[in-house]
Structure 1
């Protein structure tokens, strides 16, 4: 590419980075803190997540009633059940409060808001910058600008000839000043950029519904038909919640985790997500929809039979949360997030040094 065009791309890279830098830094640091949340949260809050194994489990109806008594006046959103011995049952409400229960006694172990506690605050910073809808808009714009910064950075990283490719892949500790900052920026940007770009791009479908649906359809997944429960004539009473759970376990006997979403409208179906113990990643979900009143199966889609678009989106979701590739995947994502401060510091240092050189 001609030198003028390269200079123009450099300007786009520079000013986009200066614009989004602080947001990217906050998102990366909070993202790094959240990578091992699934392992660390139960360790630091064992009283909420673990009980002594043993005893026959109470029915789902008993558990939901106990949670409602502990948090009266709020409407249940979903129930999360895990098959691991000693795991607690989590009943989440629409107001973002979660009640933790003993599966065998229905005893309430505690209550916590989704954005409470250390990791909850980190998630709130990561998603909203503690600014609500305004913060969500800033994060969305920041994710798109981050992708622009990284893509232009990759182009600028490319050496003019392949003979000097090695200089962009290795650190040169003999360099000083601006040359050292430039070398460190290029090397860290190459290795971390792929990870951070993947995280930014996989975060976008979670922020924009139209992009999520576009991802589905772009990979060949036709929009699914809308499903409805059929309220009976006369007084409408859904079947026992336990019947929903029994149906899910019949269809997904190897499920390690179940998420049961209660209907929000009289004609809405019951939605159940099931993830098998041996799943490829933690969001490799099978989807079950039930009639809330009869318990009849409206649609059952095992993960293996899901359209490519759905599989792509769920895999991207796992990548973004560090739930893909086991411990190695999480460590790679953590390293990528922790490299962002290096890019920010070296980039800002070069910008300031460049300004001083011009004014000298």
Structure 2
């Protein structure tokens, strides 16, 4: 490879790394606890005791009515289930109206077997939520999310340029060599290069899936304006349904009958962000760690209880949903989480060593410049002394 080409790749690697390193460090640090989100959440919050199932299972309508009686005068926005981590519990979100902002939401955790309230968590961010929103959007909403996506692209360019630069180095040295007999800066350079290659595949996968995930909100808006609008085109111009709605339990049964082998994960009520003005949007998921990320919405007429439409989500949303478990490493159990955490820590070392090398290089150049100035001044002084001696 020509010297000028190497210099160009070096500049690409240096500047893309410098621009994104601080943000990548933040993502690695906040991502570390998120790998163990469920485990930490269990430690922070007391485990809720769910009663044993009765001889006759309660319908979801009975459980939901108990939640609404707990906070009278509110409308239902969302209902959520998590059978893997919270079996027997139903999570209900209430608010003054379907259009109310998230800051005004009220949350209830219901016991599905007894229709009793297990918990009414406050509408505020705890430690894990702060970590999550810092990691996902810098606490800055969609602009922060897209900004982090751009940092992820720079990170990927830095990875590619680093690999290009590492090739010529390995032609002259053994793989994995660390020159312990050389200066501290060279030792850190060798460690930086070695760990960069070791974490190459992991960093590429996590970086690219992270970039894909930052497009989730724009992709959902595109889905709402496209496919969802097509699915409810027959209801266009009609006012939002209000008052008594059809049975929630019947809507869930209808959705499950239309998607055998899947289970209900989430229900969005009419007028909310993830539904239309006329439907229960029942979101079905698969039953394996990976297919649980494949979401299939069923639209159930909230007045008649009939299935209006059910379609697979478009490819771009499927790509985003499938990329999420690869990003957080939460589809392979604890061994996968531990592996993800180890690579996360190694990547932190790569980023910190990169910053150290940049500062060390600048300091070395500054010292070299000082020596050159000092030598020049000494030479000038010697010349003047010689001239003065000759003049005498």
TMscore range, shorter length: 0.7 to 0.9
- Please say if 1:146 is aligned against 2:147: no
What pairs up with 1:22-101 in 2 under 5 angstroms? 22-48=22-48, 50-55=49-54, 56-70=56-70, 75-83=75-83, 86-92=87-93, 95=102, 97-101=106-110
- Please say if 1:244 is aligned against 2:244: no
Question: May I ask how many residue pairs the two structures share in their alignment?
Answer: 348
TM-score by length of 1: 0.80
| 2: CA distance, partners of 1:215 / 1:194 | 31
Structure 2 residue aligned with 1:21: 21
Structure 1 residue aligned with 2:230: 226
TM-score by length of 2: 0.74
- Please say if 1:359 is aligned against 2:360: no
Secondary structure at the aligned position of 2:199 is classed as: helix
Tell me, yes or no, if the aligned pair for 2:108 and 2:120 is still in contact at 8 Å: yes
What pairs up with 1:151-170 in 2 under 5 angstroms? 151-157=160-166, 159-160=167-168, 163=171, 167=175, 170=176
In structure 2, stretches of 5+ residues that fail to align are 95-100, 368-392
Q: Choose the corresponding residue for 1:260, options 263, 267, 283.
A: 267
- Please say if 1:340 is aligned against 2:339: no
| 2: CA distance, partners of 1:38 / 1:142 | 27
- Please say if 1:288 is aligned against 2:307: no
Larger Rg: 2
Structure 1 residue aligned with 2:326: 319
Structure 1 residue aligned with 2:119: 110
Two-structure CA RMSD over aligned residues (Å): 3.6
| 2: CA distance, partners of 1:234 / 1:346 | 59
Residue 30 (structure 1) shift: 0.9
Residue 210 (structure 1) shift: 8.6
What pairs up with 1:115-130 in 2 under 5 angstroms? 116-130=125-139
Tell me, yes or no, if the aligned pair for 1:290 and 1:296 is still in contact at 8 Å: yes
Tell me, yes or no, if the aligned pair for 2:159 and 2:204 is still in contact at 8 Å: yes
Over residues 193-241 of structure 1, what are the superposed CA-to-partner deviations in whole Å (9 max), with x where a residue is unaligned? 332332232223332359748999xxxxx95762227569998743111
- TM-aligned CA distance change 1:9 to 1:120, over 3 Å: same
Tell me, yes or no, if the aligned pair for 1:90 and 1:99 is still in contact at 8 Å: yes
Residue 109 (structure 1) shift: 1.8
- TM-aligned CA distance change 1:39 to 1:211, over 3 Å: same
